Chain A
Amino acid sequence: MNVLVCISQVPDTTTKITVSPDGKSMNPQGVKFILNPYDEFAIEEGLRIREKFGGTVTTLTVGGESAKEILRTALAMGSDTAAIIKDEERQDSYIVASSIADVARSISPDVILFGRQSIDFDSFAVPSMVAELLGWPNISMVSSLTIEDHSVTAERDIEGGKETIEATLPCVIAAQKGLNDPRYPKLPDIMKAKSKTISEHPKSSAVRRVNVLDMKLPDTKRLNKIFGESDQELDEVVRLLHEEAKII
């Protein structure tokens, strides 16, 4: 069974975001970039599928030269090969999805795994788009996955509960936290991963469908009224919630 795992490089979750001089993107200066946290579950699941059924795991990212770092992490965890589609901007989910679909057509995997969302643009868009472009089924927010013969059974999180979904292979899966416990790469494997080759694929010629006009930091003005724990002060909080915020 051949697996394609698609991962992305994102700013560390604790990053303080500032706006670039262009007014429409994040200023990357001083920002630490990491492997998208949900993608760790996707890589781990890919490795487990290979361990059970044989085959290969290819890890793919779309991004700039520095994104090769996260491919090295995937290689150290056990991915057989790694590939990059060079696209520094990576802002248009349709172009990203088209580029990934092109690679998928050329290597014909049985399963394509993603993290449930990339925590930079948070669009939840690329996995479903890739599935639609390929004419495949997809299951998103997957917290449990069983593959048997050519059928897939998965549990996905929905509001207030879970859905059990069935599909056939080939299939696109987007991994949610809880799917597995990602392994830590071992030091010798980290060293070996440094010298492995990373192949390069061209960016899709698809045309941009959405443009960013500007980027702003949110207006986080809060009332910041601070109280103590005395009865009188709690009475005042309840009064304000009732009369000022009109929430109770």
Chain B
Amino acid sequence: MNILVYLETSPNGLKRSSSEALTAARALAGGSHITGIMFNGTPAAFNAAGEYGLQRCLNINDKIIEQFSNGLAAIAISDAAHAIGAKIVILSATATGKDIAPRIAVRLQAGLLADCVELIPSGDSVEAVRPIYAGKALIRVKPETAVVVATLRPNVFTARKTERTTVAVEAFSFASDKDVRTSVVVSTSQNMGTIDVAEADVIVSGGRGLKGPENFHLIEELARSLGAAVGASRAVVDAGWRPHREQVGQTGKTVAPSMYVACGISGAVQHLAGMSTSKVIVAINKDKEAPIFKVADYGIVGDVFEVLPKLTSKISAVTGRH
């Protein structure tokens, strides 16, 4: 069973979600059956992929792909899947993965298993478990097609290193119709110096209990002590205290970090929908009846203005981060 894994690069190598995808692929098939595909792959990225057991990687270094285009990326990945006879194509459910996986599925006449939280080997194919209704239910889905495209929710599959392998890199050129009509990325802007909640391993979120934007330094300080990203509830984003990119919940981002710390957040259903699959949940709220405590592993009933500074210094003492 051949598997093609689309690998997203980062400035220092491989995105963590791609390491997770490689680990998940290894659980389905032996290393010799797994091929990676990268766009403009770097030595750092190939090395990083080798730490997760990748033996063979296709690399596309095409002028046409310099300005990333979702339509062309889909053509390239589909062509590569044909070339290696892939039964399963795996991507991460990132902004890019979610955008191009449906196109690849159409091109390969494949069933799309979107945003999976579990992959289950099934004969010559794979079944998956995926959350629906914002995580309020889980469905097990089975493709009815010979080829399957699956996207994996970031932070759910654990990335595990294995005996380092040397990655054989092969240049791959795809037969793109140069007239294909597509969109291209003309520029990218990053929010400097912040970790995005969608990619963070730990998130500290603040809600209305903070009483005003001027008090969010308490959240930022706790986040620093944990090496965490700062998140926010819808109420404080709508009030203009924090930017929308930090919003966790139904109209914001769905996150699944190793630890989620909710501070002064009551826990409306819409907020819980975005974070309830976090591995460990800590809640700080002065109202002991707040719904957030029902989903918390560790709840602290208290005033955030009292608790946050104390908790920050106690955690700093353990982590050494200030």
Q: Which residues of A contact B (CB under 8 A)?
A: 11, 13-17, 19, 24, 26, 37-38, 93-94, 97, 119-129, 131-133, 135-141, 143, 152-153, 156-168, 171, 177-178, 207-218, 220, 222-229, 231, 233-235, 237-238, 240-242, 245, 247-248
Contact = CB atoms under 8 A, between A and B. Distances in A.
Given A13-B250, A223-B297, A161 B190 contact: yes
Contacts of A163: 185, 187-189
B247 to A, nearest CB: 8
A140 to B, nearest CB: 5
Given A126-B102, A137-B183, A247-B258, A210 B144 contact: yes
B140 A226 contact: no
Contacts of B105: 94, 125, 129, 209
B112 A227 contact: no
Contacts of A168: 181
A157 B96 CA distance: 10
Contact of A227 (B100, B113, B196, B300): B300
B156 interface: no
B198 A14 contact: no
A127 B314 CA distance: 48
Given A228-B302, A238-B311, A156 B102 contact: no
A15 B164 CA distance: 48
Interface in B11-48: none
B29 to A, nearest CB: 21
Given A218-B136, A222-B295, A164 B186 contact: yes
Contact of B95 (A157, A213, A216): A157
Given A213-B140, A248-B315, A225 B299 contact: yes
Contacts of B139: 24, 212-216
A236 B6 CA distance: 43
A122 B297 contact: no
A17 B137 contact: yes
Interface residues of B, number: 95
Interface in B202-235: 202, 226
Where chain A touches its partner, the secondary structure class is: mixed
Most B CB within 10 A of own CB, among A11, A139, A157, A218: A218
B112 A26 contact: no
**Which 9 A-B pairs give the minimum distances between C-beta atoms?**
A229-B302, A167-B183, A160-B196, A128-B102, A209-B111, A137-B183, A223-B297, A123-B114, A161-B190
B145 A234 contact: no
B133 A208 contact: no
A222 B281 CA distance: 8
B98 A124 contact: yes
Nearest to A152: B183
A217 B137 contact: yes
Given A132-B74, A161-B196, A211-B141, 20 more contacts: A13-B273, A14-B269, A120-B133, A122-B115, A135-B180, A139-B183, A143-B244, A159-B196, A160-B199, A163-B187, A207-B144, A209-B105, A211-B144, A213-B127, A214-B139, A224-B299, A227-B301, A237-B298, A241-B282, A248-B319
Interface of B: 70-71, 74, 93-96, 98-103, 105-107, 109-115, 127, 131-145, 180-191, 194-196, 198-199, 202, 226, 244-245, 250-252, 254, 258-259, 269-270, 273, 276-277, 279-282, 288, 293-303, 306-307, 310-311, 314-315, 318-319
A166 B69 CA distance: 10
A170 B288 CA distance: 54
Contacts of A158: 95-96, 188
B134 A13 contact: yes
Contacts of B245: 157
Contact of A214 (B114, B140, B189, B302): B140
B56 to A, nearest CB: 27
Contacts of A123: 102, 112, 114-115
A23 to B, nearest CB: 10
A166 B85 CA distance: 33
B67 to A, nearest CB: 9
